[in-house]
Amino acid sequence: MELTAANISGNFNGQPVANTSQYTSRIQVARDGRILVGGDLASTTGGSGFDFPGTDQFTPVLPDHPVKPGDTWTKSFDQTLPFGGGDLSYTSHNTLVRYENVSGVKAAVIRSTMSVPLDLTIDLRKLLDMYGKGAPIPKGSHPTIQYGGSVSMDQTAWFDPTGGSLVKTLLVAQFDMQMQFKGFPSKQLPGGGQVAFAGSMTLTLTRQS
């Protein structure tokens, strides 16, 4: 699927940020809702200059067998980053809570909790090229960002089982991560070449048609 977003606004570290440019990314999704190749959805908030790997699983992970309200299922899977060295390993615990009418659709309400350990390296040149921003990087240099830490998510999704599509989703992510910068010019590095982040992110998506 192709994801396009524009005129995005939000808050980062208590300060408003906005990005008026249009963002387009292609995301590979399995039939059961697992996002196999992420689109780096978190980076669409723009303005912060940082990305939050592990927060792209905005679709519910569906069971491989019939379920009824109250039933649970667990799935583990890997998501490939399109620009970096490593995969994200998800563990998802899911429950079919109930069925609910949403805009005339009988939607399955699926509650999921997910955890993702972070141990990966992002190639900054590939990342900038992917978003069409060019690469203002000195020739011969190869800057990378190494991530460590973990991300946990609590998701409620409304899924149309008849139409096989997502109606809406609410995702709350908690992250505690460290970013180590290598290969950057010394004057562009944060103090010590490392930055730590801890906080939360809330994402709401609603189908428009």
**Alpha-carbon span 9 to 102, nearest angstrom:** 26
Residue written as tokens 């780096």?
Answer: 40
> 53-96: per-residue pLDDT in tens?
777 788 999 999 999 999 999 999 988 776 656 688 999 999 99
Question: Containing H/E element for 107?
Answer: strand 105-123
Give the model's confidence band at 186: pLDDT under 50 very low, under 70 low, under 90 confident, else very high.
Answer: low
Is the Cβ–Cβ distance between 165 and 157 less than 8 Å? no
What confidence score (pLDDT) does residue 129 get? 65
Give the model's confidence band at 183: pLDDT under 50 very low, under 70 low, under 90 confident, else very high.
Answer: confident
Burial class of residue 65 (count of CB atoms within 10 Å of its CB; 0-12, 13-18, 19+): exposed
Q: What's the whole-model pTM score?
A: 0.77
**Alpha-carbon span 142 to 138, nearest angstrom:** 9
- The highest-confidence range among 7-21, 34-48, 164-178, 179-193, by mean pLDDT, is 164-178
